[in-house]
Structure 1
């Protein structure tokens, strides 16, 4: 199952997506991606495991993962974020729907000031900017969806009480790893 990951090793991911090096201080190794991610979680800066998951997952899956992470923090989100989170959920289910694209476009056209705002931006970027205002696209290039997913999940995590933060972080990372493995199975079944 894990052998089918789109990036077999951490170095593979860093080579394919150099932007990850701007979001992480840990250098890549030849270690298997899942093992590398779990070592990050156990390391000095466990938040880097969130970053690694954001880049490890395909973009649409990363947006869904972020949605799922933030859905577990609804008590810590602003009222407006609840509606936006529902729009992100709808977009993931039907990214080609003109209605969902228009909603994401509106959300992505404003600067992300909340965790869910970052996820909406990731959804807009995932569409290669097609769901975003042209001025926003030109201002963000080369802004990867993974960077926005990372920012959104980490911003949500920052709202969790310190005593609970590592447990929540660990749950988010494990969910990301599981999603990466499911995506690998889906890719191999479609091949």
Structure 2
């Protein structure tokens, strides 16, 4: 399944997305992307596995992954965040819907003050580059969606009780790896 990944090795991803070096300290290797990600999770800075997944996944899949991660933390969010998670869900399922695109653009125009706000900004960055330009922290990023997804998931993770944090982090990374493998399968099927 993994032979169809967008980036076969960690070095391939780093070469294609040099912005990742701003967010990670671990240098790339020739290791297969999935194995590298799992090693990051088991390493000194396990949060880097989240960062790696944010860049590894195609943007729309990464937004969905972030939605899935933050949905597992829904008891830590308020009503506004629940509404924004619904917008992300609707946008991912129908990204060409004019209504969903308008809703995401409007929500992304606001400064991200919560983990879910970062994810809506990632979705909005695909819809409207002016949303990114209005956010100095994102406008300077070569990969604004990956940066926002990483920020949103890590901010959500920071709300988790310390005793539970590694298990939640591990679950999030496994979801990301599964999504990468599904994307690889789709790419392999499309190439056939």
Structure 2 residues not aligned, in runs of 5+: none
Mapping of residues 148-163 of structure 1, within 5 Å? 148-163=148-163
Aligned partners of 2:57 and 2:180 also within 8 Å: yes
The whole-number CA distance in structure 2 between the counterparts of 1:20 and 1:27 is: 10
Deviation at 1:137, TM superposition (A): 7.2
The whole-number CA distance in structure 1 between the counterparts of 2:48 and 2:143 is: 18
Mapping of residues 76-87 of structure 1, within 5 Å? 76-87=76-87
Equivalent position of 1:140 in the other structure: 139
Deviation at 1:136, TM superposition (A): 2.2
SS of 1:154's equivalent in the other structure is helix
Equivalent position of 2:65 in the other structure: 65
Worse-superposed segment, 73-82 or 140-149:
140-149
CA RMSD, Structure 1 to Structure 2 (Å): 1.6
SS of 2:134's equivalent in the other structure is helix
Structure 2 length normalisation: TM-score? 0.94
The structure-2 alpha-carbon separation of the partners of 1:97 and 1:137, relative to structure 1 and needing over 3 Å to count, comes to farther
Aligned partners of 2:38 and 2:49 also within 8 Å: yes
SS of 1:46's equivalent in the other structure is coil
Structure 1 residues not aligned, in runs of 5+: none
**Pair 1:176-2:157 in alignment:** no
Aligned length: 189
SS of 1:118's equivalent in the other structure is helix
Q: Give structure 1 regions of 4+ aligned residues with deviation exceeding 4 angstroms.
A: 132-135
Deviation at 1:143, TM superposition (A): 4.6
The structure-2 alpha-carbon separation of the partners of 1:103 and 1:15, relative to structure 1 and needing over 3 Å to count, comes to same
Cα deviations by residue, 1:91-111 (Å, 9 ceiling, x for unpaired): 001111111111111111111
Mapping of residues 121-140 of structure 1, within 5 Å? 121-127=121-127, 129=128, 133=131, 136=134, 140=139
Equivalent position of 1:100 in the other structure: 100
The whole-number CA distance in structure 1 between the counterparts of 2:113 and 2:5 is: 32
